[in-house]
Amino acid sequence: MRITILGSGTSLGTPIIGCDCPVCKSPDPRNHRLRASILVETAHQRLLVDVGPDFRAQALRENIRVLDAVLITHEHSDHIAGLDDLRVFGWYARRPVVIYSSRTVKEFIETRFDYAFRPPQEGTGVPTLDLRIIETPVQLDDVRITPLTVLHGVWEILAFRFNNFAYVTDCSRMPDASKAKLKGVRCLVLNALRREPHPTHLSLDEAIALGHEIGAEQTWFTHMTHALEHEATNKSLPAGFALAYDGLKIEVKDE
């Protein structure tokens, strides 16, 4: 299985509009972070997790032409604002784009993108979306997708395990039942906002502690603000931990 980090930034991205800090002005491309999203590729499938406002640029950069399914962690704009750009995938595949999410997110998408669920005016292009609820593990061809609940502040949102790999973003706390579902993952991508604590996202130290508890061979951090300079922060991390960056490709061995 191959994971591509499409974006490793927070809702504002890095650089932040109008910010002159050294990270926003850094010439190191690893400090340039589009909004958080990943592509999961197996021998048979291409799956997308989250469709933020940078999705169009990410799809062009990585030459994404086919998507077998899309999974949504939660309804914050930095995770769904690009849904309209799924239009072309429906045209190419000649079928609606399958989207898995919680019931809450499904209902939110039906409201925010209401025009996609009404007959369009002639000449108007709308995305064709096949919204499905995921509450228990789903076997999609060669991938078993296990949804797990994590807390994003007081909200319950979804994270996903794909065979031996897991993607957890926008988490501030993980219930024990969800940690149990991650037992044995070889590779984990986990959010780490900044060094200072935050009410709705794990700080770097909290993410390291949770990463140790989960115990993947390799843990990559994502959903980072401009407060984390890539090179300096990466050097400070314990063995088995590293900062992800946009365009990073991770190979995860199937057992």
> Which string of x and - marks every residue 220-239 that binds Zn ion (by CB under 5 A)?
------x-------------
Residue 227 pairs in a beta bridge with: none
CB 128 within 8 A of CB 90: yes
19 scored as a contact of Zn ion (CB under 5 A): yes
Q: Is 74 strand, coil or helix?
A: coil
Q: Least Å distance between CB 131 and Zn ion? A: 19
Q: Which stretch binds Zn ion (CB under 5 A): 10-18, 107-115, 129-137, 210-218?
A: 10-18
Q: Which stretch binds Zn ion (CB under 5 A): 15-23, 97-105, 113-121, 127-135?
A: 15-23
Q: Which is nearer to Zn ion, 68 or 170 (CB)?
A: 170
- Omega prior to 15 cis, within 30 of 0: yes
Q: How far apart are CA 127 and CA 245, in angstroms?
A: 29
The residue assigned the tokens 């109008």 is 18
The binder of Zn ion chosen from 32, 33, 76, 161 (CB under 5 A):
76
The residue range among 20-28, 62-70, 101-109, 214-222 that interacts with Zn ion, by the rule CB under 5 A, is 20-28
Q: How far, in Å, CA of 249 to CA of 255, rounded?
A: 19
Site for Zn ion in 117-156 (CB under 5 A): none
What stretches of the chain show up as alpha helix (H) in DSSP?
55-61, 77-80, 87-93, 103-112, 176-181, 204-214, 230-235
- The binder of Zn ion chosen from 50, 68, 75, 170 (CB under 5 A): 170
Under the criterion CB under 5 A, does residue 12 sit at the interface with Zn ion? no
131 vs 30: CA distance, rounded Å: 34
**24 binds Zn ion, rule: CB under 5 A:** yes
Pairing of strands 138-140, 143-152: antiparallel
Window of 23-31, 182-190, 229-237, 238-246 that interacts with Zn ion by CB under 5 A: 23-31
Residues facing 241 on adjacent strands:
219
Question: What minimum distance in Å lies between the beta carbon of 78 and Zn ion?
Answer: 4
Using CB under 5 A, which of 75, 78, 206, 229 touches Zn ion? 78
209 binding Zn ion? (CB under 5 A)? no
What is the dihedral angle through the alpha carbons of 203, 204, 207, 211, rounded to the nearest 10 degrees?
Answer: 180
User: Binding to Zn ion by residue 28, rule CB under 5 A?
Assistant: no
Select 1 or 210, whichever has its Cβ closest to Zn ion. 210
202 vs 206: CA distance, rounded Å: 6
Using CB under 5 A as the binding rule, whether residue 33 contacts Zn ion is answered as no
Give the residues lining the site for Zn ion (CB under 5 A).
16, 19, 21, 24, 76, 78, 170, 226
